[in-house]
Amino acid sequence: MKLNLKRIARKPGYTIGKLYVDDVYFCDTVEDTDRGLRQDMPLSEIKRIKVQDRTAIPVGEYRMIVNMSPSKKRLLPRLLDVPGFEGILVHRGNTAEDSSGCIIVGENKAVGKVINSTGYELKLVELLKTAKDLMIEIV
């Protein structure tokens, strides 16, 4: 199964995107500020540019799993091997303040935020928890 996250609005304090599952639109997203990081950059450059808890992960393609989040205490999609980042999840929230690099799902009906996030998280987890070969491409 393949997810695609297309970042469509790169603002100073947040990034809005559209999430697709197997090329079908699923929901909107909000992330931290996109600082132009790419998966193929040297790790030293990523670390130099990254602002802790305020930077969207590098564009690129990542393997994913669904597992129990120790901090959130529930099953969540987790991105693996994100250079310069640890514990990147796809989860509920409303603004980039809820992110720390993670991808927040919902509906972008207000500037800089998403709403109805819990339902989208639950639906996404249900959809992905039995999927094999999970991947996400972020552009």
Give helix then strand counts, H and E, for the chain: 2, 9
Q: How many CB atoms lie within 10 A of CB 83?
A: 19
- pLDDT at position 68: 94
> How far is 66 from 64, CA to CA, in rounded Å?
7
Element (H, E) at 128: helix 117-128
> How far is 90 from 101, CA to CA, in rounded Å?
10
**For the chain, what is the mean pLDDT?**
97
pLDDT in tens, 116-134: 999 999 999 999 999 999 9
- Bridge partners of 65, per DSSP, are 78
User: Look-up: residue for tokens 């992960």?
Assistant: 57
> How far is 31 from 40, CA to CA, in rounded Å?
20
pLDDT in tens, 79-110: 999 999 999 999 999 999 999 999 999 999 99
Say which DSSP state 41 is in: S
- pLDDT at position 36: 98
φ, ψ dihedrals at 131, nearest 5°: -70, 150
pLDDT confidence band for 63 (50 / 70 / 90): very high
